[in-house]
Amino acid sequence: MTAKKILSEGAFISISDVTVALCAVLVILVVLKSRKRERKDLIPPPGPTPWLVIGNMLQMGDKPHISLTLMREKYGDVFQVKLGSLLVVVLSGIDTVKQALVRQGESFAGRPDLYTFSAVADGTSMTFSEKYGEGWILHKKICKTALRTFSQTEAKNSTCSCLLEEQICSEASEVVDLFMEFSRKEGCFDPAVPIISSVANVVCALCFGKRYDYNDKEFLTLVQINNEVLKGFATGNVADFFPVLRYLPTSPAIKTLVQYIKRMNSFMERNIEEHLNTFDKNCIRDITDALIAKCEGRHDEGKKALLSNKQIVHTVIDIFGAGFDTIIAGLQWSLLYLIQFPDTQAKIQQEIDDKIGSCRLPRFEDKPLMPYTEAFIYEVFRHASYVPFTIPHCTTADTTLNGYFIPKDTCVFINQYQINHDVDLWNDPNSFDPERFLDESGQLNKDLMEKVMIFGLGKRRCVGDVFARFEMFIFLTTLLHRLKIENASGQTLSLSADYGLTMKPKPYKVTISQRL
């Protein structure tokens, strides 16, 4: 059989077929070689060698923000670690983080597909799980507009019955009364209880149009549920790092977290259903009403509502969480620094006496007039760094940062703690010194203030960061306007904290006395 070759199966292939096949193989080899040459330019970020199965999890220890800050010294501002099977790129350094979150903002604006995030809202939470895109941009715009409805700048034309400044000032006065009540009953006391009560009432009033007594059962249950949900996020979830576990029988820890999330969602749904039934566009009672008003009777290109009821529920949950834990932690840390550094407290009180006086309580308009007080708040943000990482980001497309290739859908950690303790930014970063933010004339150094990382940057920056700063200012100045706060006798203070999504100081007690 000339020009024929018999194969073992008895089939026949012509020489011309073999020629075509060989040519095809050569083309494939050329393409593969070309791609290999191209991929030489796609350098992955460096990082420690991962162990089998667990990756670099053991290297994280019980203080991941410290461990990853130390790794940055060896691997630079962009490096990668493996947490179980999850590849994580860690970003440090203010310039690198600004490049990623601001200049390349769209590329880093996603959220990773973590089991914990999906348990929260099935993709409808603007903060945790909704994918970045036109829908998310619209969702955030509606949320920001609803929040602005309650700002003092909108007050003249607002139909709202619950304005932000009035509510914060009212609750700040209430927390002073609670401090005095606790002092009468107990002498020295843990300030966390009255702080949690008053801050939670601000956000309850803004979100639901109601406030609670600090020992109200429904109120205490809500606070407990929120704390447990945040605790669940803080400890992390093994199913986030080992996705196969999502399909196995649920562990007790995951079950507990999901149960608390369902209880929180149920509480929100009941309140929002009540708002939908009693909604009056001429009387906007709270943020829930404002969100309904923005969506009521309006449709995007006539196809669907701007926000579904489910999205409204999770937007309220997002606002509740943002206005709750971060501010409570900030105030707990602030009081701890005030009793640790009494000279600092005296300087703030002198500024209060000079700029506000004794005849009235602080207002929003006083904030720009009190640079030392604001410098103190920023130094608390920086030194405590009690939000050590932003909520994880995710790349929305293949991208390059600092010369390193980062594929689409890569989980990204932003190390805010490292930036706030970077020796290249801060002189003696481990020292607590509010005056680092003041220039020679005693005015604020705004360029330096912008380098403090606490609320994130770019497209995923916390929508309530401005309100959080105002709330901390009013609470602190109202407390110090009326009270002197001191360390409890014989108590040794600690500025260390256990790691978490939001890090709280270790429990401590204070004593108070009224200022004359």
Q: Which residues are annotated as a binding site for heme?
A: 462
Q: CA nearest 385: which of 285, 495, 308, 257? A: 495
What DSSP line would sit under 443-470, residue for residue? Answer: -B-HHHHTT--SS--GGGS-TTHHHHHH
Print the SS3 string covering 113-181. CCHHHHHHHCCCCCCCCCCCCHHHHHHHHHHHHHHHCCCHHHHHHCCECCCHHHHHHHHHHHHHHHHHH
Q: Please answer whether residues 323 and 440 qualify as being in contact, where contact means their C-beta atoms are separated by less than 8 angstroms.
A: no
Tokens of 89: 């790129």
Q: Which residues are annotated as a binding site?
A: 462
Q: Which residues contact 260 (CB under 8 A, 6 or more apart)?
A: 225, 228, 229, 232
Radius of gyration of the chain (CA): 27
Closest-CA residue to 243 (of 89, 106, 409): 409
* Token duo for residue 384: 């405590």
- Pairing verdict, β 411-414 and 86-91: parallel
Q: Is the dihedral of CA 225, 185, 166, 330 positive or negative?
A: negative
Exposure string of 49-70, with b = 16+ CB inside 10 Å and e = fewer, is: ebeeeebbbebbeebbbbbbbe
Question: Within a 10 A sphere around the Cβ of 408, how many other Cβ atoms?
Answer: 12
Q: Which two tokens stand for residue 36?
A: 């290999």
